[in-house]
Amino acid sequence: MKIRTVMPALALTSALVLAGCGDDGSMEGMDMGAGTTPSATSGPSESTTSSAQDGDHNDADVMFLQMMYPHHAQATEMAQMVQGRTDNQAVLDLAAQIEQAQGPEMEQMATLLESYGEPAPSADMSAMEGMDHGSESMEGMMTEQDMASLEAASGREFDQMWLSMMIEHHTGAVEMARTELEDGSDPQAQQLATDIIAAQEAEITTMEELINQP
């Protein structure tokens, strides 16, 4: 009698254990399936985000970058002239600030033009003559004679001449940047224009204060 009562109990216990193992296996399969779902959907979302960040451009963007590049190049050349021609620390500091700001901006202009499929920009003004850009696009640029006169000056004469020329140069750059904001379409080029306006208007204020000092 004892044997008959124990055996059914053992059989029932074995059945429960086997059923438990079957449940564990099916759950593991479900977990693995759930784990693969996110990786399968992450790729397209990244591609969509990348596409959404791509901007378009128009002729105004191209002209702005092509003309601002040599404009910046001349400002950088003028900034480099202060060494050995003045001991006015305020002028020296401002020149260094201009050179440090406009160098990276020139690199950004070249990168944007390359992304448009346009030729690399040139710092040589003569290379711009063949392009169909209005003369107003180069407002504030110094002539070769202006640059020669500046190079020949020194001391206070140099300071006054340099500040006067750079104010005119910056004013022209600000006008070019404002035209880009009105007519351009590429957000990156327009952000560059906004940065140029902010930086150069602040520098114009500084230069006007310096030029009026006795």
Per residue in 83-142, pLDDT (tens digit) is 999 999 999 999 999 999 999 999 999 999 999 999 999 887 655 554 544 444 478 999
Q: Which residues of 90-123 are buried (b: 16+ CB within 10 A; e: fewer)?
A: ebeebbeebbebbeebbebbeebbeebeeeebee
pTM to 2 decimal places = 0.71
Q: Can you give the pLDDT at residue 124?
A: 79
List of E strands, the chain: none
Q: Which residues of 12-24 are buried (b: 16+ CB within 10 A; e: fewer)?
A: eeeeeeeeeeeee
Per residue in 142-157, pLDDT (tens digit) is 999 999 999 999 999 9
Q: Which amino acid makes up residue 158?
A: F
- Topology given in CATH for the domain delimited by 58-211: Ferritin (1.20.1260)
Q: Which amino acid makes up residue 126?
A: S
> Alpha-carbon Rg of the chain, whole angstroms?
34
